[in-house]
Amino acid sequence: MPAARPAEPPAEDLPEDLTRLAALHGVATSYSPSPDRTVAASATAVILALAALGVDASTPGAVRAALAARDAELRERLLPPTVVAWSDGGTPAALAALPAGTRLRVETEAGETRADADRLPPGVHRLTATAPDGRTAGAHLIVAPARLPVPAARSYGLLVQLYSLLSRRSWGMGDLGDLAELAAWAGRALGAGFVQVNPLHAAVPGAPTDPSPYRPSSRRFPDPVHLRIEDVPEFAYVTDRERLGVLRERAGRLREAVLEKGALIDRDAVWELKREAAELLLEVPLGPGRRAAYCDYLAEQGTALEDHATWCALAEVHGSDWQRWPEGLRDPRSADTDRARTELRDRVDFHSRLTWLTDTQLTAAQHAAREAGMPVGIVHDLAVGVHPRGADSWAQQEYFAAGMSVGAPPDAFNARGQDWGLPPWRPDRLAESGYAPFRRLLRGLFRYAGALRIDHVMGLFRLWWVPEGHPPTEGTYVRYDAEAMLAVLVLEAGRAGAVVIGEDLGTVEPGVREALRERGVLGTSVLWFERDWAGDGRPLPPERWRADCLATATTHDLPSTAARLTGEHVELRDRLGLLTRPLEEERAEAAADTAEWLDVLARLGLLHGTGGDTGGPSEEAGIQAVHRFLLRTPARMAGIWLPDAVGDRRPQNLPGTWDQYPNWRLPVADAEGRPVTLEDLAASPRLHALIDVVRDRAGG
């Protein structure tokens, strides 16, 4: 239940004590949407954010008491709960501030004991400090490399929503077999260095499933809907071949409906077929080697996997909203949950096995990519949060801020702000645990990722918290320990030898991009947004682009390049009633923006070919020119949005819509709207012409 709404004084007149208490807990009392403008947060947002952090600020007396308690805690505290040491840095400030004569004791990850914190190996160690006056404090000590190594050589690759690229073997949506095939082909035949996909996190089950891959049930484990059933070794030994044959026949009809009959991708129907097939697969006993591998996986994943599989089993019985389960089952550590786990042990094992099988196919896809010569391989995507009723929010309740949702403040594009419906992590609980949930999350993803894209990477620094039951305008920023979050990220990525790409588009707090670059985290630069905003506002020349980034022409949330060049994105938004200005104004502004970029491309000699009678550039020539431009920038990675390669005009996701547009359910299609299979893609003259352009620029 949302907390009771407190009486709200005028936003510009927050009491001084409340302002100071908020600052001590990282809760902002104002924010700056632009350098010349500051907006005060409402008292509602500040008080409810503090309440979600366990701080009572509901009355002036409560504020004074909380302030006194916090001041006393900080005076007495020897160490913060987590301390960061960079391998190239000096003594951490927290250690330098200890009283003279303080004794240190460090227990390393490897189990060694040391009497100082110097020259420690990378890892998360346990630090104990004993002051001369007898006070003792413990802390987690994160020792991280100074920065991640940048990619050894610049590369280009493909960006695709995996579900949208079907082959003649997939069951109604793209799967991990398709991903491995795509990576092997792109690496060997196209010289691509990577393939970037959407988040493959586990979705919340139930019909209809939320199709967005950015609102998962769990970020810690993958979704078995992506399994290639035929690639599971036990498939060959299923005894009920007739039943399996029926399922494959139904899968074929599902595939043909999408590819030949204009049907949308139906994730629920795909999962129903794969779940039934998985039931048959799991009747086949594992061989000794496979059994040993599965047992190793269970031991390695431990309680986290057991919790995830238990949630999945309970959801089959009680529905996918754990907050509506019987009260005793809402706590993953309760006696009732223990009993249910025992009673449902076959289903718990079923979901554990499916997770393991999916993990092995993800690992195989990365192996195929590297075998094909890709220096990076598969770039996986980390969503910014999880569903409030899903597996992670049930299993890790203590780490989430109850009654809060992540979103974005009002800006020039959305005057009402945004509420993404994702519960935020509590920064205080993360620090107390030494960032254990974040470490385990990253470690799991880096098992099979050559690189990781972090959606809304600014969330490592601060997030906009929206109190439940309130509009996004009544939110406020809550700060995280960015140094600790970055240290964990660099530590785990460095151990895996992986690249990290931050999605840093939109409003970015000053200093964030610089901090990310210092630690080797690449940014994201999208052509249409790269303008000289500090100067004349014109398109930024290629030589002035940053090198430490992934450069692209578009993303899954933006119009395809073909739609932008033709202006079709404006017409689509008009048909759906999404325009905030008259159609002619929107058309004129979009046309002027596109014309300005085409003029730049022409002046640089990148625009080849004409559009016949019009004498202007063809849409395909425009797409090629855009990618010539990207390869003229110093960007270390350049991404080709796969639908651009075949002329697809439709966005995969249209922000601001729900059922008005088929978000996350469209197959990749050509310029005429005909679905393009993986096999078609490999033979596409248009794609190969674009790749020839890119390879020529990359080679030059």
Q: In this structure, are residues 646 and 669 in contact, taking their beta carbons and an 8 Å threshold?
A: yes
pLDDT of 617 higher than 80: no
Instruction: Count other Cβ atoms within 10 Å, centred on residue 679.
Output: 14
pLDDT-based confidence at 656, cuts 50/70/90? confident
> What pLDDT score was predicted for residue 352?
98
pLDDT-based confidence at 534, cuts 50/70/90? confident
Mean pLDDT of 103-131: 95
pLDDT of 599 higher than 90: yes
What lies within 8 Å, CB to CB, of 482 at 6+ separation is 460, 461, 512, 515
> What pLDDT score was predicted for residue 390?
96
Whether residue 686 is contained in a domain is answered as no
Domain containing residue 95: 77-144
Whether residue 34 is contained in a domain is answered as no
| pLDDT digits 0-9 by tens, 28-62 | 999 988 778 889 999 999 999 999 999 999 999 99
And the tokens for 603? 């002046």
| pLDDT digits 0-9 by tens, 245-273 | 999 999 999 999 999 999 999 999 999 99
| pLDDT digits 0-9 by tens, 441-483 | 999 999 999 999 999 999 999 999 999 999 999 999 999 999 9
> What pLDDT score was predicted for residue 615?
52
Whether residue 491 is contained in a domain is answered as no
| pLDDT digits 0-9 by tens, 143-155 | 999 999 888 789 9
Cα 351 from chain centroid? 23
> What pLDDT score was predicted for residue 8?
38
pLDDT of 486 higher than 80: yes
pLDDT-based confidence at 362, cuts 50/70/90? very high
What lies within 8 Å, CB to CB, of 282 at 6+ separation is 234, 350, 353, 354
pLDDT of 583 higher than 90: yes
Whether residue 94 is contained in a domain is answered as yes
> What pLDDT score was predicted for residue 4?
38
Cα–Cα nearest to 105, from 144, 78, 138, 80 = 138
- Specify the DSSP element, H or E, that contains 85: strand 82-86
pLDDT of 26 higher than 50: yes
Whether residue 96 is contained in a domain is answered as yes
Whether residue 68 is contained in a domain is answered as no
pLDDT of 414 higher than 90: no
Percent of the chain residues topping a pLDDT of 70: 96
How many structural domains is the chain composed of? 1
Integer distance in angstroms from the first to the last C-alpha of the chain? 60
Whether residue 107 is contained in a domain is answered as yes
| pLDDT digits 0-9 by tens, 600-609 | 999 999 998 6
Which residue would you say has higher pLDDT here, 613 or 350? 350
Cα–Cα nearest to 655, from 578, 561, 571 = 578
> What pLDDT score was predicted for residue 5?
38
| pLDDT digits 0-9 by tens, 155-195 | 999 999 999 999 999 999 999 999 999 999 999 999 999 99
pLDDT-based confidence at 580, cuts 50/70/90? confident
For residue 208, whether the previous peptide bond is cis, meaning omega lies within 30 degrees of 0, is: yes
| pLDDT digits 0-9 by tens, 393-408 | 999 999 999 999 999 9
pLDDT-based confidence at 521, cuts 50/70/90? very high
Half-sphere exposure of 326 (CA within 13 A, CB side): 10
Farthest-apart Cα atoms in the chain, separation? 88
State the DSSP string of 121-148.
Answer: PSEEEEEEEE-TTS-EEEEEEEEE-S-P
Cα 461 from chain centroid? 15
pLDDT of 612 higher than 70: no
Mean pLDDT of 639-645: 97
Whether residue 112 is contained in a domain is answered as yes
Query: What's the CA dihedral at 412, 417, 423, 429 to 10 degrees?
Result: 60
> What pLDDT score was predicted for residue 206?
80
Q: What is the CATH number of the domain that holds 93?
A: 2.60.40
**What's the length of the chain?**
700
> What pLDDT score was predicted for residue 215?
95
| Average pLDDT, rounded, for the chain | 94
> What pLDDT score was predicted for residue 11?
43
pLDDT of 369 higher than 70: yes
Q: Which amino acid is at 367?
A: H
pLDDT of 6 higher than 60: no
Report the SS3 class of residue 673: coil
Q: In this structure, are residues 446 and 498 in contact, taking their beta carbons and an 8 Å threshold?
A: yes
